[in-house]
Chain A
Amino acid sequence: MHKRFVNHCTIELTISPCGPILIKSGKEGADPTKPDMEFVETYHQGGKSIYLPGSSLKGAIRAHAERIVRTVGSDKPSSKGVWANDPLNDKRDYLSNKSAPEIYKLSCFTDQMFGSTEIASRVRIEDAYPVNRAQLKIEERNGVAIDRVFGSVAVGPFNYQVCTAGDFKTKIHLKNFTLAQLGLIGLVLRDLNDGWFGLGFAKSRGMGTVTVQYDSATVQYPGCVLESGQIKAIATSQQWPHTMLLGAGEFLDATEAGNYGFPKPDHQETPVAAAAMPLGFGVQLVWTGQIQVADLFERSVKAWSRLLGVAA
């Protein structure tokens, strides 16, 4: 459902390496002083800098989200509970000649979130740029494969560039999201921070682990206004208390929500109060700092658990 804009969430976060990380550029430059494998670079704030591409972040986040869904759900289409397909090999015949709502409804949970060849993604992840280039620590590491019989060097030595310290800021956007989808993003980010999966090259050699610091989360309802302490939908007569976190299904009538398969009701009470968006049009709730954003995820995960049939 992209024809209407009912809710939007922006999570601002800071990613910092715990040890060495390397997102390879894939090309060996002509500079002979540079190592065999170089970090991806781009121009940012008037200079050349390494960065974490949004595609690399999205790939790692999507892969872990799929892993979670297959673990607690299924890898086959299922009318009960959640499922995740094999996005690279699924021919998606079950979506041919279907209407837009049916395509969304029949797609697996992770395709609904991250997109497929049939539907656009509702999760958007920006490139992560360094907060301060001067604080980045970029080193060179060497690698050799040791000959198992002779103990000498069998392959190598090869050298590669790694970043061992610094802060990278990025944003994750969710458009027309359900609370369960936000909850799953929360679980994935928690696991990224816990080192359950990593980013980039040589993960099985300890590289790629990072910490994730939540800076803020903003949930906006663009089609609503704040009236007498209530969030009120402009186009309909619906209204909710001003401390309510609302999933996409809440803004649709029962038939339309059913066509797409959006859960309804889909709301959670939060300690954060809504405020009017700039220009007086739309309503937003803002969670600031690690503890508040973690609380937002805690509440969203309850919706995710309910979807799995676990009492929240």
Chain B
Amino acid sequence: MENLSPKPYRLIPFPKDTSGNLLALAKARPAGLDRYKASHYTGKIALQLNVHTATTVLSGITVLGSDIAAKIPKDSLVKTAISRSDQLIIPGSSLKGSVRSIHEAITRSCICKISRNYKLNKQQVKIKVPEGYRECSPQNKDIRDRNVELCPSCQVFGAINCEGIVSFSDAICTQKTAIKFVPSLYQPHLEKEDYYSNVKENVVGGRKFYYHFTNSIHEGEKGINTQLAVSESCFVGSLQFVNLTKAQLGGLLVALGQDQNHQFALKVGTGKPIGMGSLTVDISEMEIWTRSGAGNIDNDIVPHLRDRYTRYTLPESNQLTGEPLKQFMQQMIQAAHRELIQEPQLKQLAEVLKFPTDRAAPSGVY
């Protein structure tokens, strides 16, 4: 037991008030998609994902090495990554999941997905979530009656019966793929006491996030060759959004690691405990539209949707870039800090996801 490496992850606890009581979810009506709302923002963000440690989202298909590469023994097996026309991709679903889990942790949001039970001594043990933190799952009827309220993450990313108002495209790798050995990984032990704030009642105590490491591990006794994108490569994708408030857009930018005071990298794909999947996000341009309303003061830089829908041909350059973009993002992030972000959670999470880091990946048992 003395040779165990430190755990490669940490739980971010749920937000509490000064007395130590859990804060209630910050529920509100979702914006909806029936119109572009006044004083809300609609647009598209161009994302560049810079790969710092080997990154891959696996396709679930294992093939013979001879089928995809000549440089490895032809009879060796290779796990393939999701690709399109020989270019690796990070599916929009993986990227969205990664950003959503950060957003959930830094806002007063529900525990969206969790295992229901685990087996211990051949007995099923039920896992409980803290009171009031159950997943938002409105019924169809509620949506039609328009009386539904959702937590901040479900409002933005969607919930059962309620479509999200952000959409992540597949991100496509611009460089060649590589094949590296990836050691076998094992499933988490759900019975471990560390996961629970109330061990007796089996009430979970926080959300799990893996640290970033300086390197990723590509050796070990057991494992398999895997198709992946190596460090220094880059994925290009986009994020479309509809009807976000200033705070919601700012919250999304913070979850993408764009807050100057809390910069961090994302963890995407397989091999998170062994240092894989560290990506930083660069935003160099944003197309943004709004419909003016009370308190909207940025119409000099943000075009009006009425102009979009009274002409067929749009101006060629409608992108916010450079200093105006930086200032706009900063304005949104400040609004998010005022209305949405839980500062203690953000601080702790930024510490876990801090990048660059001097933490070395655990090479043995942890």
Contact = CB atoms under 8 A, between A and B. Distances in A.
17 contacts: A66-B34, A141-B82, A141-B91, A145-B97, A146-B113, A149-B204, A149-B207, A154-B114, A195-B44, A195-B240, A196-B240, A203-B167, A204-B158, A205-B96, A294-B313, A301-B310, A308-B310
B355 interface: no
B145 to A, nearest CB: 9
Nearest to B97: A146
Interface string A287-312: 00000001001101100110010100
Given A164-B84, A301-B312, 11 more contacts: A71-B35, A146-B101, A149-B111, A154-B114, A190-B312, A195-B240, A202-B93, A204-B157, A205-B93, A206-B168, A206-B170
B309 A71 contact: yes
Contact of B168 (A72, A157, A198, A204): A204
Contacts of B84: 19, 164
Interface in B110-138: 111-115, 127
Contacts of A88: 144
Interface string B180-199: 00000001101000010000
B190 A150 contact: yes
Interface of A: 19-20, 63, 66-68, 70-72, 75, 86, 88-89, 141-143, 145-152, 154-155, 157, 159, 164, 183, 186-187, 190, 195-196, 198, 202-207, 209, 294, 297-298, 300-301, 304-305, 308, 310
Interface in B222-253: 237-238, 240
B306 interface: yes
Contacts, number: 141
A19 to B, nearest CB: 5
A230 to B, nearest CB: 28
Contact of A204 (B36, B96, B190, B206): B96
Nearest to B93: A205
Contacts of B60: 142, 157, 159
B188 A206 contact: no
Contacts of B11: 149
Contacts of B313: 294, 298
Main secondary structure of the interface of A (DSSP, over half): mixed
Contact of B311 (A67, A294, A301): A301
A187 B311 CA distance: 8
Contacts of A207: 92
A147 to B, nearest CB: 5
Given A187-B309, A190-B312, A152 B113 contact: no
Contacts of A206: 91-93, 95-96, 167-170, 237
Contacts of B164: 204
Contact of A67 (B34, B96, B170, B210): B34
Contacts of A183: 312
A113 to B, nearest CB: 15
A20 B104 CA distance: 27
A310 B92 contact: no
Given A143-B93, A145-B113, A149-B204, A70 B34 contact: yes
B305 interface: yes
Contacts of B44: 195
